[in-house]
Amino acid sequence: MVGRAETARLIAVTSAASPPPVRRPALFLDRDGVLNEDRGYVHRWADFSWIPGAKAAIVAFNRAGWLVFVVTNQSGVGRGYYSEADVLRLHEMMADALLEAGGRVDAFYYCPHHPDAAEPRYRHPDPPDRKPNPGMLLRAMAEWPVDVARSLMVGDKDGDLEAGRRAGVRSLRFEGGNLLEFLGPELPKLTSGDD
């Protein structure tokens, strides 16, 4: 039987062991066209090619204490071109390559749904996770301690930028080139909280 003193100590230990999480800025990255060359429905490692500076950009944001998320529409699943297992396998290979470079993606979010999906289980008239809807970003914000005001969404399409705006995240369009060079000027500004 636990007495009052033991109960109080137990509560104090439990409270001290679980402080509120520190909110951190997050870098939300579209995948195809931002992290890898967009060759259309990329789902095999053999077809995957990193954008120059992509791994280095992720490592830089990791070192600055940011959370890093990939948020990607993968309608090729719903269209029957490849499976969710293919998406997961590719993301695992990306994670392994990043680990070798000293970096990490904290979570991969993908949306296999599409209004015209061939498979009924992936068909939805307006999938909440499919960009330009903000569902994937909002899910990450619910699951992780994200400081929304200091976060950033990077995409190469209007839908990516719109998803960021709808989630309350500043959004930048990446039009190609070296991702680290593109994001480099943003890192100190966003990390310090200055605008």
As a whole number of angstroms, the distance between CA 72 and CA 158 comes to 13
Omega before residue 132 within 30° of 0, cis: yes
Distances (CA, A) of 66 to 41, 133, 141: 29, 23, 13
Choose, from 32, 86, 129, 160, the residue flagged as catalytic: 32
Residue 126 designated active-site? no
Catalytic residue chosen out of the listed positions 30, 86, 129, 160: 30
Which amino acid is it at 110? Y
Q: Maximum Cα–Cα distance for the chain, whole Å? A: 66
Write down how long the chain is. Answer: 195
User: Catalytic: 32?
Assistant: yes
Catalytic annotation, residues: 30, 32
